[in-house]
Amino acid sequence: VLSVDALVEGVHFDRAFTPPDAIGHRALAVNLSDLAAMGASPRLALVSMALPPALPMADFEGIADGLTALAARHRVQIVGGNLTRSPGPLMIDITVVGTVKRRQALTRAGARAGDKLYVSGTIGAAAAGLRVLRSRTSLVAGRTSEVASGHSRPATSDSRLATGDLRLVTAYLLPQPRVHLGVHLARNRAAAACIDLSDGLADGLHQIAGASGVGVTVDADALPIDPATRSVLEQSGQDPVAAALAGGDDYELLIAVRPRARRRLAARRDSTPLTLIGACTAERGVWLRSDRGVEPIGRDGFSHFR
């Protein structure tokens, strides 16, 4: 399988609060997440960059470091690339090549009524992390390497990030694509349909529902939104459920599972937590069930809360 995705400055990231290594990491993570959603093992990557002439050499090296570190972790060989000048924004375009057995490849189109819906990890953490970063731009710009390396050594007390916030910031800056989980799901035929959540959970639900020709219902109370995420989103005046549904940049997988295949989810070495969040239905539509009743989820999220 082949996949291409682009990261464009000013559209997908802001250099003011995205350290260079995080830019490189995220550019590859987007693509690895696409492969994970197909159940494919990543093998090769080609990297094409358009660089503004004013970009400091150290920033370029930082981008390359972030990219190669993630590539090494997943044994992806960077086999080619292209460098050119950009008269505008920094852009990184990556094409990845992965392998999966033809019959095992996961798509969005295999779900049936009665399948259960699971999501990996937690949702909303990246959206919350971005909110933390936006509120502390000057701080983060000053200590790029600390944030990116996952530990914080603030020089002054007012630049301290709470441990919870640091985890959210890391979720945004250094998302971990669910490569092993995707490969496991494909090899064990554990998933009937799969998509990654880089465009948000609401989008993922609509994609699976549309491609599979089913409806889906999600339980608001079941959504894996951790307390730190909930707290940041609430402090910024957002409903956590609405924000977690709409927020992209969670590199998690949304999976539809046949009732009889549920035991295949359990037997895996990969330790990524999976949370049951809802089910597929014969009746069409994408719905959220909460103590307020059942309400439709729009493609961009949950308009009621906005």
Residues that bind a second copy (CB under 8 A): 2-6, 8-12, 44, 46-48, 50, 79-82, 84-89, 91, 93, 95, 97
CA–CA dist 75, 217 (Å, integer): 37
- Minimum CB separation from a second copy for residue 9, in Å? 8
Closest-CA residue to 274 (of 191, 216, 215): 191
Q: Which is nearer to a second copy, 48 or 107 (CB)?
A: 48
- Minimum CB separation from a second copy for residue 12, in Å? 7
- Minimum CB separation from a second copy for residue 224, in Å? 29
Q: How many CB atoms lie within 10 A of CB 296?
A: 11
Closest-CA residue to 243 (of 177, 181, 168): 168
Q: Which is nearer to a second copy, 80 or 285 (CB)?
A: 80
- Minimum CB separation from a second copy for residue 31, in Å? 10
**Interacting residues of 109 by C-beta distance below 8 A, sequence separation 6+:** 193, 211, 212
Q: Which is nearer to a second copy, 85 or 134 (CB)?
A: 85
- β-pair partners for 253: 196
Residue ranges with strand state E in 134-273: 193-196, 215-219, 253-257
- Minimum CB separation from a second copy for residue 93, in Å? 4
Q: Which is nearer to a second copy, 102 or 292 (CB)?
A: 102
Q: Which is nearer to a second copy, 31 or 120 (CB)?
A: 31
The two structure tokens encoding residue 132: 């933390």
